[in-house]
């Protein structure tokens, strides 16, 4: 009986504290700050809401359209609304939709959200952890979130071209490897680029093996045609004068992946972005002879990337 009374008093105290924090903005005459932690799924969102410094509310599950309607209602009520979700395969559409509603939305790096190592992972717990991190970030702790830069729609469209080309190249290599595996499995010496018309016509192998390879050859030829077309399209967009050590394709891919060179304030940031700062152990002894200065000349101040501002990179 005594334990039950203490528990009830404790719950009452927590509820009272939460209620006072929720209404603090009304007494101070200011706007409430609402934080939304969002766990994103293909068909729905799991959202945890926190009002000012109160305890986070229980998670809610919304269909996509219903969530946007609910978020717009919160904003219309005059609240200062912040939202956060992890970068994932669903892109940045949600961030743009919330920004269009004048909601400050952050996209952060995926991370382990089970800080207490409870080994329990649910959508609601992930949304709550994101909400609490967002609360610390809004209060001034800028290390609470590892924010991801959101590219513009034009930047996403530009980089989608070379990413699709890379996917086609990967598919071509897989089919080509399957053909070589078939040869090796039946005691035939594998032939490089076996699917090309002249090479395929001269393949020394039984007819039944050729018949099996013919199922993949037209697909490989069609893939190569698409890859060649995309390669020409990408190379045509390269700047006339390329930095020393870079080809047209590499230069275009780097420019489109980085998006805006002006977001870097010094060459160290560029080096960190291109993962050229941390040397592999086996290369540290040979670091003086490693040709990274030729591969990434603008990092060393020898030249600048095409279209960048006139900066010293020092």
Rounded to whole angstroms, how far apart are CA atoms 52 and 152?
31
Mean pLDDT of residues grouped by 10 in the chain (314 residues)?
Answer: 44 37 47 90 94 91 94 90 92 93 93 82 91 93 90 90 94 95 92 92 90 94 95 88 81 86 84 58 47 39 38 36
Q: 31-138 is classed in which CATH architecture? A: 2-Layer Sandwich (3.30)
pLDDT in tens, 279-288: 444 444 544 4
Find out whether 85 and 40 touch, Cβ atoms under 8 Å.
Answer: yes
Contact 308, 302 (CB under 8 A): no
Residue 54 CB neighbours (<10 A): 18
Domain ranges for the chain: 31-138, 154-236
SS3 208: helix
Instruction: Return the percent helix, strand and coil in the chain, to nearest 5.
Output: 55, 10, 35
Question: If you ran DSSP here, which 8-state letter would residue 147 be given?
Answer: B
Q: Please tell me the pTM assigned to this model.
A: 0.70
The residue count for the chain: 314
pLDDT tens digits for range 14-47: 333 333 444 445 444 456 899 999 999 999 999 9
């Amino acid at each position: 009986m005594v334990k039950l009374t203490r528990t009830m008093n404790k719950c009452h105290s927590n509820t009272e504290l939460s209620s006072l924090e929720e209404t603090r903005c009304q007494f101070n005459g200011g706007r409430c700050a609402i934080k939304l932690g969002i766990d994103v799924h293909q068909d729905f969102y799991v959202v945890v809401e926190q009002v000012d410094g109160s305890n986070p509310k229980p998670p809610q599950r919304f269909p996509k359209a219903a969530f946007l309607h609910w978020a717009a209602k919160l904003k219309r009520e005059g609240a200062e609304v912040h939202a956060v979700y992890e970068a994932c395969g669903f892109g940045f559409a949600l961030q743009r939709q919330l920004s269009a509603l004048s909601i400050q939305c952050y996209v952060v790096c995926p991370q382990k959200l089970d800080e207490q190592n409870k080994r329990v992972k649910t959508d609601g717990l992930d949304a709550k952890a994101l909400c609490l991190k967002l609360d610390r970030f809004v209060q001034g702790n800028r290390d609470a979130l590892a924010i991801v830069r959101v590219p513009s729609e034009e930047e996403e469209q530009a980089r989608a071209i070379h990413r699709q080309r890379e996917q086609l190249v990967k598919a071509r290599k897989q089919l080509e490897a399957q053909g070589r595996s078939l040869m090796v499995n039946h005691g035939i010496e594998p032939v490089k680029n076996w699917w090309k018309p002249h090479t395929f016509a001269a393949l020394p192998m039984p007819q039944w093996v050729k018949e099996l390879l013919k199922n993949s050859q037209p697909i490989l030829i069609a893939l190569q045609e698409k890859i060649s077309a995309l390669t020409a399209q990408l190379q045509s967009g390269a700047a006339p004068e390329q930095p020393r050590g870079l080809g047209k394709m590499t230069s275009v891919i780097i420019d489109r992946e980085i998006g805006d060179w002006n977001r870097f304030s010094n060459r160290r940031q560029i080096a960190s972005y291109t993962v050229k700062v941390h040397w592999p152990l086996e290369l540290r002894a040979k670091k003086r002879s490693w040709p990274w200065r030729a591969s990434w000349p603008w990092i060393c101040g020898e030249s600048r990337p095409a279209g960048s501002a006139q900066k010293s990179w020092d």
